[in-house]
Amino acid sequence: MTAAAGSLDATAAMEALRVAVDEALDQALPPESAWPATLHRAVRYSLFAGGKRIRPVLVLAAGEAVGGRREDLMPLACAVEMVHTYSLVHDDLPAMDDDDLRRGKPTSHKVFGEAIAILAGDALLTRAFHLLAEVPEGWDAGRVRRRVRATALLGEACGTTGLIGGQVMDLESEGRAIGAPDLECLHRAKTGALLSACVRGGAVLGGAREEELDQLSRYASAIGLAFQVVDDVLDATEDAAHLGKTAGKDEAAQKATYVSLHGLERARGMAASLRQDALDALAPLGPRGELLGAIARLIVDRHS
């Protein structure tokens, strides 16, 4: 799909960032043949299975919007994709969501077995923070401080009040009638926290002023929720061939979703209104926010 925006060719810009991220990810990991080869095959199998790379692109777009340098942003861009992929590998395990299909391919545990899939997820999470700790010689104190602050934002987003806490709430709410406030809390933790860390972390690394950081935080909060509302709409309306993962799972598991609570049309309306909130938050950045605006449109208008 294309991401229509002002004068910028946003689709081409995002594709260029995606290619740069893929190259950096390739360099950040041992080759498949490195010991222990089974593990590295599993790590690369999931990481290079065709994800959309929305999170690393957000890091680069947010950082560059406030004047950041690509070399300062790329380690965080790689780290967030590693964390995201770990969470998908673990979420697909029989003990969690028990899924056979991810990114259009058999899930990690189906190909490598449960033990290796667990360890591949662990390896991705560990490498993410290892990479961020590899601060080059000669960096000045300000650059190091920004890296530490962004790393802490990522750690918080992955932790018990973010991704992991949201996953626990998700598991505990299965088959139970939860209301709209709990659903929002769940998704702000499970999906929104990591997306926020991408935007805020990129902005911190780029040297954003506190005022810019506030604007970008409002943008991140809106796209974080929009992402999940759209995910629920897609789960209810698209087939597995489009999604690259099992469709209709939420309904089958009797999970509360934005569609089950509000109906399809209202859920679509909520996504559109969150997209507008995101675009409004970017307004003070002017043309510097154009790519981030295109990403907000892409998140809401996507079909997979």
Q: Taking contact as CB under 6 A, which single stretch among the options 36-44, 86-94, 176-184, 286-294 is the one that binds ligand GRG?
A: 86-94
CB 196 within 8 A of CB 59: no
- Site for ligand GRG contains 111 (CB under 6 A): no
User: Is the dihedral angle over the CA atoms 185, 266, 249, 86 positive or is it negative?
Assistant: negative
Nearer to ligand GRG, 150 or 295 (CB): 295
Q: How far apart are the first and last CA of the chain?
A: 10
CB 74 within 8 A of CB 20: yes
Q: Which of 5, 77, 88, 116 binds ligand GRG (CB under 6 A)?
A: 88
Taking CB under 6 A as the criterion, which residues in 152-211 touch ligand GRG?
A: 163-164, 167, 190-191
Q: Taking contact as CB under 6 A, which single stretch among the options 7-15, 30-38, 88-96, 252-260 is the one that binds ligand GRG?
A: 88-96
For residues 41-62, b (16+ Cβ closer than 10 Å) or e, as one string? bbbbbbbebebebbbbbbbbbb
As measured in angstroms, the least distance from the Cβ of 141 to ligand GRG is 34
Please give the structure tokens belonging to residue 278: 């995101």
Taking CB under 6 A as the criterion, which residues in 207-236 touch ligand GRG?
A: 228, 231
Q: What is the dihedral of CA 302, 185, 216, 148, to 10 degrees?
A: -110
Nearer to ligand GRG, 125 or 208 (CB): 125
Site string for ligand GRG, 42-61 (x = CB under 6 A): ---------xx-x-------
Nearer to ligand GRG, 212 or 232 (CB): 232
Report the DSSP beta bridge partners of residue 105.
102
Amino acid at 146: R
Binding site residues, ligand GRG, CB under 6 A: 51-52, 54, 84, 87-88, 90-91, 96, 103, 163-164, 167, 190-191, 228, 231
